[in-house]
Amino acid sequence: MRGNDWTILVFAGALLVGTTISTPGQAQSTIETVKKRGHVICGASQGTVGFGAPDSNGYWRGLDVETCRAIAVAIFNDRDKIEFVPLSGQQRIPALQTGEIDVLPRTLTWTLRRDGNGINPTFANYYEYTGFMMPKALGVTKVDEMAGASVCVQTGSTTEVVVNDVSTKHNLGLKPVIFDNVAATRQAFFSGRCDALITDAAALASVRATQAKNADDYVIFPATQYMDALAPAVRHGDDQWFDTVKWSIQALLAAEMYGITQANADQMLTSSDPRIRRFLGVEPGNGTALRLDEKFAYNIVKQLGNYAEIFDRNLGKGSPLKIERGPNRLFRDGGLMFPLDFQ
Ligand SMILES: N[C@@H](CCC(=O)N[C@@H](CS)C(=O)NCC(=O)O)C(=O)O
């Protein structure tokens, strides 16, 4: 059998398994399961500071982590009614489909095949290019100088596809060296097993800042000109849960647009702006529509702040990473983040 035939068989098998095992989870709605259990189970990274990693006290922090905490707040009004399950690139989607986790916010690129094969991406909580990181000593600063380079890559990620695409497009003969977990991938790169490491550029910036002996020894450059939408996902077949996750993410963006912060949320309750009053649940209706507390959006901002505050403390100017907002600014400010109407 040729390699391609095996690939088709494995894909077909995965599809079958995906269909069979996701069915029992639909007997009870996810929100009922979550309420009965008393906490949300969130698929997490295996450790990328800024997106998802436990701090020195074991408390989970990061943009993806706080996105998930927003869902816990929407349901329980408690950002800590949550459990984080670290997952490798390959484990994460099956974990969602089998019901091991309720939601997957883990630097997950929204692609057609993932979407079609059993997950529902909600809204992007981060836009980013895939990038390469290389030691400066190799003197390479752009893709078309990478001919023959070996690239450490984690399986189960879109980056596996990107390495091959880039290699084909620029005729580079790149040599992927594949690992099944993030620690092994990074360790291999830093020990010189590969010339380059590939993943989302912001994750590379995080790895360089937190794991390189000397960050200045490494250069990061885009692998493609195509931007990815990284979107927390839920499994197919549960619209109420899909809506809960979507509007929890939207609450962070809309709060930023309305100028509502963790510090001023209480003061904003007296705003005369009907939009702000609906958002905060002063005027009822939104909570009823989603079968959540009328104050769910207020609670999210009160416990976590808005998207700008979360971005700044995890990735931006209030963090060691100092990543620019760039495409992750609100649409109003020239970015791609588009808050929807809370009515
Ligand atoms: N956005 C890409 C890549 C995201 C990703 O999972 N990256 C791998 C490394 S290539 C990873 O493990 N990231 C971080 C982590 O587990 O902490 C995707 O959805 O496939």
CA distance 163 to 240: 37
Specify the amino acid at residue 48.
T
Cα of 148 from ligand 1 centre, angstroms: 24
Q: Output the pLDDT for position 236.
A: 96
Instruction: Name the closest-CA residue to atom 15, ligand 1.
Output: 45
> Using an 8 Å Cβ cutoff, are 218 and 134 in contact?
yes
- Distance from Cα 229 to the centre of ligand 1, integer Å: 13
CATH for the 129-227 domain, from 3.40.190.10, 3.20.20.140, 3.75.10.20, 3.30.365.10: 3.40.190.10
Say how many Å lie between the CA of residue 50 and the centre of ligand 1.
Answer: 13
Q: Relative to the CA of 53, which ligand 1 atom is closest?
A: 17
β-bridge mates for residue 88, sequence order: none
How many whole angstroms separate alpha carbon 154 and alpha carbon 130? 13
Mutation test residue for ligand 1: of 151, 182, 220, the one with most atoms within 8 Å of CB: 182
Cα–ligand 1 centroid distance for 87 (angstroms) = 10
| Sign of the dihedral through C-alpha 335, 336, 342, 343 | positive
Domain boundaries, the chain: 1-125+231-343, 129-227
1-125+231-343 and 129-227 share one fold: yes
Using the atom order of ligand 1, give the atom closest to the CA of residue 153: 10
Strand-strand pairing, 175-179 and 119-121: unpaired
3-state DSSP call for residue 157? Answer: coil
Whole-number Å distance, alpha carbon 230 to ligand 1 midpoint, is 10
Which DSSP letter does residue 131 get?
Answer: E
pLDDT at 5: 43
- Cα 221 to middle of ligand 1, angstroms: 17
**Structural tokens at position 275:** 């939009």
Nearest ligand 1 atom to the CA of 111 is 19
For ligand 1, atom 6, the nearest C-alpha belongs to: 89
Give the DSSP per-residue string, 168-212.
Answer: HHHT---EEEEESSHHHHHHHHHTTSSSEEEEEHHHHHHHHHHH-
CATH number for the 1-125+231-343 domain, one of 3.30.429.10, 3.30.2270.10, 3.40.190.10, 2.60.40.2470?
A: 3.40.190.10
- Give the type of residue at 126: Y
Pairing of strands 119-121, 126-135: unpaired
Let me know how long the chain is: 343
Q: How far is the CA of 131 from the centre of ligand 1 (A)?
A: 12
**Residue from 49, 159, 177, 194 whose mutation best tests the ligand 1 pocket (most atoms within 8 A of CB):** 159
For the CA of 86, the closest atom of ligand 1 is 16
Ligand 1 pocket: which residues have CB below 6 Å? Answer: 45-48, 89, 107-109, 154, 157-159, 182, 199-200, 203, 228, 230
Distance (Å, whole) CA 149 – CA 141? 13
* Tens-level pLDDT at each residue, the chain (343 residues): 344 444 344 444 343 333 334 444 446 899 999 999 999 999 999 999 999 999 999 999 999 999 999 999 999 999 999 999 999 999 999 999 999 999 999 999 999 999 999 999 999 999 999 999 999 999 999 999 999 999 999 999 999 999 999 999 999 999 999 999 999 999 999 999 999 999 999 999 999 999 999 999 999 999 999 999 999 999 999 999 999 999 999 999 999 999 999 999 999 999 999 999 999 999 999 999 999 999 999 999 999 999 999 999 999 999 999 999 999 999 999 999 999 999 9
Dist CA 158 CA 267 (whole Å):
44
- Two structure tokens written together for 337: 């983040």
Distance (Å) from CA 64 to ligand 1 centroid:
12
Q: How far apart are CA 188 and CA 238, in angstroms?
A: 40
pLDDT of residue 28: 81
Alpha carbons within 13 A on the beta-carbon side of 82? 27
Protein residue closest via CA to atom 20 of ligand 1:
157
What span, in angstroms and rounded, lies between the C-alpha atoms of 209 and 306? 25
What is each CA distance from 280 to 96, 251, 259, 275, in whole angstroms? 31, 10, 12, 9
What is the 8-class DSSP label of residue 2? -
- Stretch (H or E) spanning 166: helix 158-170
